[in-house]
Amino acid sequence: MAPLKPDLRTTLADITLETCVYNASGPRSGTSAALQRVAQSSAGAILTKSATLLSQNGNPLPRTWHHPDGLASFNSEGLPNNGIDYYIAENNIDEVMQGATDGKKPYIVSLSGLSLADNLEMLRRIASSPSRNKIAAIELNLACPNVIGKPIIGFDFDQMDMILNEVSRLVTSLDLPPLGVKLPPYFDVYHFATVATLLNKYKTTIRYVASINTIGNALAIDSESEAPCIKSNQGLAGLSGPAVKYTALANVYKLRQLLDTSIDVVGVGGVQSGRDAFELILVGATAVQVATCHWTEGPACFDRICRELMDLMQAKGYRTIPEFEGKVKEWTKEGAALSRQAKGDKNPNNGATASKTTSRNTELSFYKALCGVLVIIVAMLLANYRSSVRLLPTE
Hey, which residues are catalytic here?
A: 144
- Report the sign of the C-alpha dihedral through residues 112, 76, 279, 19, in that order: positive
**Dist CA 253 CA 265 (whole Å):** 9
**Dist CA 277 CA 269 (whole Å):** 10
Maximum pairwise Cα distance, the chain: 126
**Dist CA 31 CA 106 (whole Å):** 17
CB 32 within 8 A of CB 39: no
CB 48 within 8 A of CB 38: no
Closest CA to 112 of 74, 149, 150, 76: 150
CB 302 within 8 A of CB 38: yes
CB 238 within 8 A of CB 215: yes
User: Measured at the alpha carbon of residue 184, what is the angle toward residues 148 and 119, in degrees to the nearest 5?
Assistant: 65
12, 131, 254 from 8: Cα distances, Å: 13, 28, 24
DSSP string, 38-70: HHTTT-S-EEPPPBPSS-B--SPSP-EEE-TTS
**Dist CA 101 CA 76 (whole Å):** 34
